Chain A
Amino acid sequence: MDNAAIAKGIREAAKKLLGEGKVDVVIGYAKGTVPMRDYPYFAYTPEEAENLTWSGFCCNNLALYAIRRPGRMAVVAQGCVSRNLVGLVNENQVKRENLYVIGVNSPGMVDRRKVQALFPGQTITEVEEVGDELIVKGVGFAEKVARKKVMRQNCYTCVQRNPVISDELIGGEGPASHGGNLDKVAAPWEKLGSSERWAEFQESFKDCIRCYACRDACPLCYCHVCFVDESQPQWCGKTQDEADVATFHLLRAFHCAGRCTDCGACESACPAGIKMRRLTMKIEKDIRDLYGYQPGMAIGAQPPMTLFKPNDPQDFIK
């Protein structure tokens, strides 16, 4: 099923849910005012549900808006969002009975920076999706681009495109993966020596302006007070100094340990184009290797960092 048909399905489901009063709000996406930037949308009435859409530009993670939200809600969820919802249910941030999941198979979201990079210096005014191709239109040009070429990096290595939980599945199930290898994300650094890694790490994160967009876009970051905002004592400085940037990114990644579902919302939100998945995916791989856990795959699963086993690896302890 193509995206336009799925969008229609989502609208109809939303109208029905809101009309029958089963939910107070349907959280979905609406078409952005700028091409390739569909944004989270909250539909409270059946009329508002007309604005909902579905496309390959739905880069935000909607699980974020379900956190501690009062009342009943329906959330449009592809694979990663549903995994985050499962995680939030397991962490007692969302009540399953208040949640209605409108499941969708993810087509693989498009990285707008990759599309823009193909047309340097040109203004893109519209992007249409036709099957596996995008038609990029601008002033005086219209070109076809294969979706595979401009997909977000995390969508290549996705292992769960179908929703894990869904009360209603629109468009049916599709293939589970795009065929990328999740273990390879961290591999380029793992081969390097210590000082080269440090140089690479500095290079990757030097553009960080500490806007915390990655934190705000992340459905895992729901602490009432984030460690970067704590001022007494201050754990992490506010400057763009390399130590402060490193502290922020390492700790942010660490807080996602055993919880990150690789939804890519952080990278999509970053105004500086920083690849923070390099860090989160290293942890994801460690958690899989050490404790055999994949986050968000089953309701009722215990997060690995809240558990221990007597035979956990401990060769690093003297």
Chain B
Amino acid sequence: MSENAEFQPRIAAFLCNWCSYGAADLAGVSRLQYPPNIHVIRIPCTGRMSPKFILSAFRKGVDGVWVSG
């Protein structure tokens, strides 16, 4: 990435299979535009979410983490 290009963050998005993953699906089907910076990781339930996932994501160099249930 060159210096003057706009900064494009990488965001790890942990989405619950039943809630936000469905919403993402619906957003796709409804052809809603949203920024392409999120990298979706599907989790079976937000209850599966562990703090170590978040810290591990940061450690591996993401610029932001988004957890959505």
- A residues at B contact (CB < 8 Å): 227, 233, 235-237, 243-244, 246-247, 250-251, 254
Contact = CB atoms under 8 A, between A and B. Distances in A.
Contacts, number: 23
Given A235-B52, A236-B55, A251-B55, 20 more contacts: A227-B52, A233-B56, A235-B55, A235-B56, A236-B52, A236-B56, A237-B59, A243-B58, A243-B59, A244-B59, A246-B55, A247-B52, A247-B55, A247-B56, A247-B59, A250-B51, A250-B55, A251-B51, A251-B52, A254-B51
A244 B59 CA distance: 8
Query: 4 tightest A-B contacts by CB?
Result: A235-B52, A247-B55, A243-B59, A254-B51
B26 to A, nearest CB: 18
Contacts of A246: 55
Contacts of A243: 58-59
B57 to A, nearest CB: 11
B48 to A, nearest CB: 14
A236 to B, nearest CB: 7
13 contacts: A227-B52, A235-B56, A236-B52, A236-B55, A237-B59, A243-B59, A246-B55, A247-B52, A247-B55, A247-B56, A247-B59, A250-B55, A251-B55
A247 B58 CA distance: 9
Contacts of A251: 51-52, 55
Contacts of B51: 250-251, 254
B1 to A, nearest CB: 22
A9 B58 CA distance: 53
Contacts of B56: 233, 235-236, 247
Nearest to A250: B55
A20 B59 CA distance: 56
A243 B59 CA distance: 6
